[in-house]
């Protein structure tokens, strides 16, 4: 019986050690507290196995961090700045629009016919009149050429203006999509890199257009200088010349306004928000590892909208863990009953005619003892939610008898309860007991002189059963 109990104690001790090792702190893979935010659901708490000095992390899936900020224990774990959307003032296209509206090169049609009428009504001769008409026609055709160039430049500047407007619209649509609770990830291929490439292309187009306009303007300036007198003598050519010069000036102003609309600072303001959006595109929140330092901790998770005007709710939850320790180690008091006991003997004297004869007589008593023990119990619950568990126990005890004697108890047992537990233990008990001295020959058992002491103390063992109480801190 004793051998079986010792083997059972050894097996239980190995099981408890294995259980303790399985929940030992893992510094490489912290335990996870996971939420599915779109379902408002706690997915995987894993809190009951939390040990002191172990690490844990908070994961929140399917949450748009452009709309919400997450705080843990009132400490903001992400940037608290709300997503900044570009406004129409971010891209000022008014200057370009006004410049384009003011570019109206005067038409040269009708200038020749007006010159002909002036000639017939004037005092010029026929030959001189024809020379004037041919000269005006030549200058008018040249001006018509520059007018066509200006119209071409105007079309390209209008296209640039529209491309800038489209750039702004695409960025705006992209960020509006990210303001949805469930953005359409992957459907819109537009991205920060695409927008930046569009900006570069538009800036190159503006630069090229400026170069071409400036080159054409210089050529026209040479033309206008060479025929300054002829142009001044004709009202139509003068008006057309003035309109062309004014158009060149306004065209370059329009290019400058286009460049101003997409300066480096304005591009930064426009595209900067896209970086934050793309950084949060995973729809996942993951905290840094936290270390569980005490017996019990409260984790407060707060999820609130970044802007009140979003009209979204605020969510808050307190997690208290560990919810229950699976393993336990505590000291508790029990009452035990054991097979270990004293064997009492009495000395009986019988008078005879000339003397008294003495004999040693065994007393009839219960071969058991009761006592009190203080046992250290190392155990584990059968599951995270179970109130029942098994443990290894060892500790001192004392017998309750006329002579109090110390005892050592060790064994296995079961517990029932969470914090306040009732326990039942069985095992081996060891201690000194009174036994009849080997000097006493019970076969003769006849003494003429009364023996002084027929009992001796002897180390012995037995089995015990104990019922007690245990409080798990």
Q: Cα angle at 305 between 304 and 311, to 5 degrees?
A: 125
**Amino acid 435: pLDDT:** 78
**Amino acid 9: pLDDT:** 54
Cβ proximity of 421 and 377 under 8 Å: no
Q: Residue 78 above 50 pLDDT?
A: no
**Amino acid 43: pLDDT:** 80
Cβ proximity of 328 and 85 under 8 Å: no
Mean pLDDT for the chain overall: 77
CA distance 434 to 436: 7
430-442: string of b/e by CB count within 10 Å (b at 16+)?
bbebbebeeebee
A 10 A CB-CB count for 200 gives 12
pTM: 0.52
Q: Which residue has the higher pLDDT, 221 or 31?
A: 221
pLDDT digits (tens, 9 = 90+) for 259-309: 888 888 888 888 877 877 777 777 888 888 887 776 667 788 888 988 888
| Identity of the highest mean pLDDT range in 105-114, 313-322, 350-359, 399-408 | 399-408
Q: Residue 104 above 80 pLDDT?
A: no
Cα separation values, 11 from 16, 160, 411, 461, 462, Å = 9, 82, 11, 21, 20
Cβ proximity of 373 and 430 under 8 Å: no
Q: Which residue has the higher pLDDT, 210 or 51?
A: 210
Confidence of residue 7 (pLDDT cuts 50, 70, 90): low
DSSP 8-state assignment for residue 326: S
**Amino acid 49: pLDDT:** 60
A 10 A CB-CB count for 381 gives 23
**Amino acid 409: pLDDT:** 96
**Amino acid 40: pLDDT:** 84
Confidence of residue 429 (pLDDT cuts 50, 70, 90): very high
Cβ proximity of 190 and 281 under 8 Å: no
pLDDT digits (tens, 9 = 90+) for 158-198: 899 899 889 888 888 887 887 777 777 655 577 888 888 99
Confidence of residue 27 (pLDDT cuts 50, 70, 90): low
């Amino acid at each position: 019986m004793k051998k079986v109990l010792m083997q059972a104690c050894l097996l239980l001790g190995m099981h408890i050690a294995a259980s303790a090792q399985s929940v030992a702190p893992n510094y490489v893979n912290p335990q996870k507290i996971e939420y599915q935010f779109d379902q408002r659901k706690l997915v995987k708490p894993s809190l009951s196995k939390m040990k002191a000095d172990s690490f844990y992390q908070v994961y929140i899936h399917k949450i748009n961090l452009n709309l919400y900020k997450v705080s843990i224990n009132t400490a903001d774990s992400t940037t608290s700045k709300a997503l900044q959307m570009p406004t129409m003032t971010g891209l000022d296209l008014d200057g370009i629009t006004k410049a384009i509206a003011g570019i109206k090169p005067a038409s040269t049609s009708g200038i020749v016919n007006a010159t002909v009428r002036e000639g017939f009504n004037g005092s010029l001769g026929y030959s001189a009149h024809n020379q004037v008409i041919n000269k005006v026609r030549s200058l008018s055709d040249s001006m018509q050429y520059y007018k066509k160039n200006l119209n071409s430049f105007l079309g390209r500047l209008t296209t640039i203006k529209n491309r800038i407007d489209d750039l702004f619209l695409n960025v705006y649509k992209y960020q509006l999509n990210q303001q949805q609770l469930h953005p359409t990830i992957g459907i819109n291929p537009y991205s920060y890199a695409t927008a930046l490439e569009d900006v570069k292309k538009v800036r190159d187009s503006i630069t090229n257009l400026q170069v071409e306009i400036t080159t054409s303007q210089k050529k026209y300036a040479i033309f206008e200088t060479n025929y300054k007198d002829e142009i001044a003598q004709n009202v139509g050519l003068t008006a057309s010349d003035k309109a062309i010069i004014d158009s060149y000036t306004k065209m370059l102003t329009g290019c400058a306004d286009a460049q101003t609309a997409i300066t480096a600072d304005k591009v930064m303001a426009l595209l900067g928000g896209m970086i934050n959006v793309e950084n949060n595109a995973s729809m996942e929140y993951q905290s840094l590892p936290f270390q569980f330092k005490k017996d019990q901790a409260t984790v407060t998770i707060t999820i609130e909208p970044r802007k009140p005007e979003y009209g979204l709710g605020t969510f808050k939850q307190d997690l208290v863990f560990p919810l229950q320790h699976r393993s336990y180690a505590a000291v508790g008091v029990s009452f035990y009953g054991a097979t270990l006991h004293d064997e009492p003997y009495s000395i009986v004297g019988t008078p005879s005619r000339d003397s008294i004869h003495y004999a040693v007589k065994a007393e009839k008593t219960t071969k058991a003892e009761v006592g009190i023990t203080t046992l250290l119990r190392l155990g584990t619950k059968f599951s995270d939610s179970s109130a029942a568990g098994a443990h290894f126990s060892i500790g001192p005890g004392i017998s309750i008898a006329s002579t109090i004697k110390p005892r050592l108890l060790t064994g296995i047992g079961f517990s029932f309860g969470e914090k306040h537990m009732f326990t039942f233990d069985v095992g081996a008990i060891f201690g000194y007991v009174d036994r009849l001295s080997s000097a006493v020959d019970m076969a003769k058992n006849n003494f003429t002189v009364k023996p002084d002491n027929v009992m001796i103390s002897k180390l012995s063992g037995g089995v015990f059963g104990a019922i007690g109480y245990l409080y798990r801190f």
